[in-house]
Amino acid sequence: MKTILVTGGAGYIGSHTVVSLVDQGYYPLIVDDLRNSSPEILEGITRLTNHSFSHFSVDICDKKALFSLFNQFSIDAVIHFAAYKSVGESCAAPLRYYQNNLIGLLNVLEACERFSVRKFVFSSSCTVYGEPEHKQVYETTPKRLPESPYGYTKWMGEQIIEDLHRNTLPFETICLRYFNPIGAHPSGLIGELPVGIPNNLLPYITQTAAGIRDQLTIFGNDYPTPDGTGIRDYVHVCDVAEAHVKALTYPGAAPLEAFNIGTGKGTSVLEMVHLFQSVASIHLPFVYGPRRDGDITEISANVDHSKAVLGWEAKRTVAEAIRDAWHWEQQRSKSDD
């Protein structure tokens, strides 16, 4: 059984990936100080997998504590999620984002190098493409300067990794460039658990439908798109999780490779609202607000490379992701009663 250290393993994508890892026979070590998650998620993972796993409440910016953890275990691979992830919040607190996301990455990479970890999977983002000239992007699409400090931390993270690979390293790296992960595990036991007001669209929608928020605010209806709202490539979080397992088994033709993780299809914010209303049979109150700093107009993934080379493609629909996210929200509402 291979041991996989998962930083941010109690977070949104991290928790679903831990479940996929256990399903495929791996032993995950979760490193997460729970600043952006909850013990509720750890309990959900335990119930879903019916397996024990190790959780360490370690801040990856604490190099001494991190290295001590690497020294205790024989680690076969690292999947690195731990990072702040809000575009809007990063514009308001850029130093906080640069300090956490970049120092954390540097510490994990140094640990991988020192302890000869075989493989490193980096949680990257489509924000590395900036505001692209063509709305569908390939892995070979030139990276542009991002629109937010969060995007810069992913852009700079990839650059740090690329520079590191100019020298001979004991490990291979795969950068998975997510587009917009949404949904939840269909069991309703784990899902996206935002702290405070959600920064991502779907939990904002489900919390509004559940009565936690008075109304949804759609940020910007004056984009040059068919309905005036921004367009994104929404991909089910369980599909995203499975991409990480694929990355672990990928033999690697090169020491460093990147893959787009999306569906290849864009959906506008307004279309998401209408689709939720159809799936949940609920009227959703919403208003339009000004554009948010850091948001781009439109982007979607070309996933030909991921299909042909990584052997991964999204299997679930946006409607299924909405259904699962709503189920998760309903389960949480019941537990809070």
Query: If you average pLDDT over residues 66-81, what whole number do you get?
Result: 96
Taking alpha carbons only, the member of 154, 19, 180, 184 closest to residue 81 is 154
195 close to 237: Cβ distance less than 8 angstroms: no
Q: What confidence score (pLDDT) does residue 336 get? A: 66
Burial class (CB in 10 A: 0-12, 13-18, 19+), 106: middle
HSE (CB half, 13 Å, CA atoms) of 323?
9
Q: How far is CA 107 from the centre of its chain?
A: 20
- Asked if residue 184 has pLDDT above 90, the reply is yes
**Would you place residue 170 in the very low, low, confident or very high pLDDT band (cuts 50, 70, 90)?**
confident
Taking alpha carbons only, the member of 306, 286, 266 closest to residue 124 is 306
Q: What is the pLDDT of residues 240-298, one digit of tens each?
A: 999 999 999 888 767 899 999 999 999 999 999 999 999 999 999 999 999 998 889 99
Which residue carries 């506008």 as its tokens?
268
* Residue 327 parent element (H or E): helix 318-336
Least trusted range by pLDDT, from 21-25, 75-79, 194-198, 257-261: 194-198
Q: What confidence score (pLDDT) does residue 274 get? A: 97
**Would you place residue 63 in the very low, low, confident or very high pLDDT band (cuts 50, 70, 90)?**
very high
Taking alpha carbons only, the member of 309, 306, 227, 214 closest to residue 266 is 227
Q: How far apart are CA 321 and CA 71, in angstroms?
A: 39
Q: What confidence score (pLDDT) does residue 337 get? A: 59
3 state SS of 282: coil
Q: What confidence score (pLDDT) does residue 166 get? A: 87
Q: What is the pLDDT of residues 89-140, one digit of tens each?
A: 999 999 999 999 999 999 999 999 999 998 999 999 999 998 889 999 999 9
CA angle in degrees (0–180, nearest 5) for 122-127-132? 135
Q: What confidence score (pLDDT) does residue 334 get? A: 73
- Mind telling me the catalytic residues? 150
Query: If you average pLDDT over residues 293-309, what whole number do you get?
Result: 94
Q: How far apart are CA 67 and CA 63, in angstroms?
A: 6
Q: Domains along the chain?
A: 3-183+235-262 (3.40.50.720)
Which residue carries 């004991």 as its tokens?
170
Q: What are the C-alpha distances in Å from 260 to residues 33, 114, 126, 145, 323?
A: 28, 29, 8, 18, 24
Structure tokens at 14: 């991290």
Query: If you average pLDDT over residues 59-70, what whole number do you get?
Result: 97
Residue 54 dihedral angles phi and psi, to the nearest 5°: -100, 130
Structure tokens at 66: 């991190």
- State the alpha helices, DSSP H only, in 3-93: 12-23, 39-49, 63-72, 87-92
Query: If you average pLDDT over residues 39-43, what whole number do you get?
Result: 94
Reduced DSSP (H G I as helix, E B as strand, rest coil) percent helix, strand, coil of the chain, to 5: 40, 20, 40
3 state SS of 102: helix
Structure tokens at 88: 């809007």
Helix then strand count (H, E) for the chain reads 11, 15
- Asked if residue 207 has pLDDT above 80, the reply is yes
Residue 212 neighbours by CB under 8 Å, 6+ apart: none
Q: What confidence score (pLDDT) does residue 87 get? A: 86
Counting every residue written for the chain, the total comes to 337
Query: If you average pLDDT over residues 199-228, what whole number do you get?
Result: 95
Q: What confidence score (pLDDT) does residue 335 get? A: 67
3 state SS of 336: helix
Q: Tell me how far apart the 2 most distant CA atoms of the chain are, in Å.
A: 57
